[in-house]
Structure 1
């Protein structure tokens, strides 16, 4: 069995083999100075997430760009609609584990999409409300309880952060409505 690293830095271990790494392993790997989106989908998501977070900086102050990116994220999750996510464990014909490799999963993708936007956008009512709306609509596309639980956690975190950051009664009322609407959609599968 051998395991591969997902991110490598100069002079770091990229694979560990038991009892040894196959001698031709490097023929099957792509090594380079830059990560590429073809082999690392989370990298492309991270790039968009960084654009969304930077758009919220005081010097830029462009929440519309952030909301557009959130819409793209929701669209992508609905397009993936409860797809099967590989475990990264590969076995031979006798079910003996031969390879363990890093994989992308729904939780990691959702985290990469929404975490920075939530953190940087919590004091912006429109960004938080839009994030909750995207999570609500996305919930109507999904059927997997595991995926819905991941979205619930993002809804809870967005609500918690915004509730602490917002002071205007109107914004807080809109936040409450969006929060409860998102949770209902995750329970019923229907937008409210």
Structure 2
């Protein structure tokens, strides 16, 4: 995905974008009668009975304003609830929800359609034939409202709930895995790139990397006949003193600026190209659920299962060669140990005193180890750390024995 495609994707996901499109459609549909009304015969217009369109539009305008206000209030309440009870990092997924945006856009567009139609009728812009176009347009809008309302009623029942948010984070992390073009290091740390003889590309500010235009970097590398070694992948905190990439060879400032422009920086991390962020958010949900104020181990167990599925997909992605990098672009692998630390350690720490959470964590890590024998020792290290934390936190000897038995059964130790 190029930089411009990424920026276009961000714009189309903004809440105002769909609302603006539907408002434009509603206004254009309301004015269509004045433009194409002459194509309708007067006899047909007299038999349709479109005189009642005035009262229909009046009811539509008043009801759609109320429905739009209610829908916006419900969405804001869901955002506030997710911020306070789940994790603020997951709110962006709720804001980007297409069903909620479509509902709000449809209601707002219908309101604007009714207002424009009422104004046009009061000014005499429509003739008898133009009112027919407005009448059929009103029927079309009502059908759209009914379908949208049915979907919105079914959707709002679970919108912003804990289980719904966990599913959203899991899907976002899975989608990020599918877009990954970097290999996964199972049994070793990513090797450091020797910086001698290389030109660093420093960041101009301190922000998070959200997207890297690999295609543009490939074009730059081919044009300058150099190799580019990426150091900052999506999710990395860019700092002025740390290079975003290293260029094997001497290049001028213009090439450095082009390489710098290939990195999109933002104040907040994004889910799209950063599966590690998805695992971090999942662990935050579990930590909030395991806090003494909430005390919800069931949510933590659901997070463990969701994180296990994401890691399972990451392990399978290691041999997925569908995404190819340009020949002169070198990307460091992502260490599995870092991913496990981000996801497993907070859950093991905050759930150490809850035996049910510890048992589920050991079983999930054991399943991952059986699925990827090459990564067994990395996963076993995290599992052993969780056992040690549970042994120190559990007051019951029976609970400690259960955790240790589960660990031995999962890893055959």
The question of whether the paired residues in 1 share the 8 Å contact of 2:230 and 2:245 is answered with: yes
Indicate yes or no: 2:306 matched with 1:72.
yes
Q: Among residues 239, 251, 265, which one is paired with 1:31 in the alignment?
A: 265
Q: Residues 154-176 of structure 1, C-alpha deviation per residue, up to 9 Å, x if partnerless? A: 11111111112112122122112
Unaligned runs of 5+ residues in structure 1 are 93-97, 188-192
TM-score (norm 1): 0.77
Indicate yes or no: 2:393 matched with 1:159.
no
Compare CA radii of gyration and give the structure with the larger one: 2
Deviation of 1:68 after TM superposition, in Å, equals: 0.3
Instruction: Name the residue aligned to 2:334.
Output: 104
Instruction: Name the residue aligned to 2:372.
Output: 143
- Relative CO higher for 1 or 2, CA cutoff 8 Å, sep ≥ 6? 1
**Any idea what SS the aligned residue of 1:30 has?**
strand
The question of whether the paired residues in 1 share the 8 Å contact of 2:289 and 2:299 is answered with: yes
Deviation of 1:81 after TM superposition, in Å, equals: 3.7
Relative to structure 1, is the Cα distance of residues 179 and 8 closer, same or farther in structure 2, using a 3 angstrom cutoff?
closer
CA-based RMSD: 2.6
Distance 2:246 2:389 in 1: 41
Instruction: Name the residue aligned to 1:124.
Output: 354
Instruction: Name the residue aligned to 2:409.
Output: 181
Instruction: Name the residue aligned to 1:5.
Output: 232
Instruction: Name the residue aligned to 1:53.
Output: 287
Q: How many residues align?
A: 175
Distance 2:269 2:402 in 1: 40
Deviation of 1:101 after TM superposition, in Å, equals: 4.5
Distance 2:245 2:400 in 1: 50
Q: If each structure's helix is expressed as a fraction of its own residues, which one has the higher value? A: 2
Deviation of 1:23 after TM superposition, in Å, equals: 3.5
